[in-house]
């Protein structure tokens, strides 16, 4: 078993010699033995004990609270719970910071893609990013139901051509048409658009929405606020 002087113990735990001595005076870290010259000597168990004290101090516990916890019969369970909770909190903070970092990276890429931008433009980017996850779920729903519609149409058509059974096709096509109408309304009710000129967030009329040319993230619309005609940025509609 190794033994350590006060200075060696302090160095291993990243604290000062005075701190180790202070813990001794508070009876929360007493040396296992003394040398012939009266110097304090600490064991491996003392080293582990000091590391626990340092961890508790980093959690913000006062010396009195540390002493109280260490004097408890179930101190190991209490300390374990405290450390587990601190682990949970720190991991939550890391996830939050990583999410913010991803947002910053996305905003940086978006800003670089704009030939010119202003405070309003940055607001548009942030607003779009905020609803991007919800809008992705909408697109996901459209994709899944669209594949189901295609499957119904193709399967019933093949059945009619190869076996001469047209009843499933006759029943399936009205279902597909009704589902398509529902999908358009579902999509329409959950999207708004940002005018790149005046930065107004608006929802176009259903007819304009349906017949407008569009890309994955924009739709060619008429802004009701400034009269701009062109591609507007799609975002998730926060209010019905």
pLDDT at 126 over 60: no
Q: Are strands 218-222 and 229-236 parallel, antiparallel or unpaired?
A: antiparallel
Q: Are strands 3-4 and 40-43 parallel, antiparallel or unpaired?
A: antiparallel
Mean pLDDT over all residues of the chain?
82
pLDDT category of residue 70 using cuts at 50, 70 and 90: confident
Handedness of CA 225, 230, 233, 239 (dihedral sign): positive
| The pTM of the whole model exceeds 0.85 | no
pLDDT category of residue 204 using cuts at 50, 70 and 90: very high
Q: Are strands 229-236 and 40-43 parallel, antiparallel or unpaired?
A: unpaired
The full set of domains in the chain, from first to last, is 3-71 (1.10.1660.10), 119-236 (no CATH)
Cα-Cα end-to-end distance for the chain: 71
């Amino acid at each position: 078993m190794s033994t350590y002087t006060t200075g060696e113990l302090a160095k291993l735990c990243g604290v000062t010699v005075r701190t180790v001595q202070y813990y001794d005076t508070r009876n929360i870290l007493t040396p296992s033995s003394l040398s012939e010259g009266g110097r304090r000597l600490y064991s491996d168990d003392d080293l582990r004990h000091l590391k626990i004290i340092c961890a508790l101090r980093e959690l913000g516990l006062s010396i009195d609270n540390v002493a109280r916890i260490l004097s408890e019969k179930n101190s190991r369970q209490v300390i374990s719970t405290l450390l587990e909770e601190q682990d949970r909190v720190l991991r939550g903070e890391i996830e939050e910071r990583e999410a913010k970092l991803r947002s910053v990276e996305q905003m940086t890429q978006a800003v670089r893609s704009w030939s010119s931008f202003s405070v309003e433009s940055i607001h548009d980017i942030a607003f779009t990013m905020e609803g991007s996850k919800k809008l992705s779920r909408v697109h996901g729903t459209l994709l899944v139901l669209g594949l189901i519609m295609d499957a119904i149409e193709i399967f019933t058509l093949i059945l009619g051509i190869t076996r001469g059974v047209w009843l499933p096709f006759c029943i399936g096509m009205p279902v597909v048409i009704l589902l398509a109408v529902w999908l358009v309304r579902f999509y329409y009710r959950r999207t708004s658009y940002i005018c790149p000129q005046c930065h107004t967030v608006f929802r176009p009329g259903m007819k304009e929405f349906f017949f407008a040319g569009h890309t994955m993230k924009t739709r060619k619309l008429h802004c009701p606020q400034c009269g701009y005609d062109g591609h507007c940025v799609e975002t998730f509609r926060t209010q019905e």
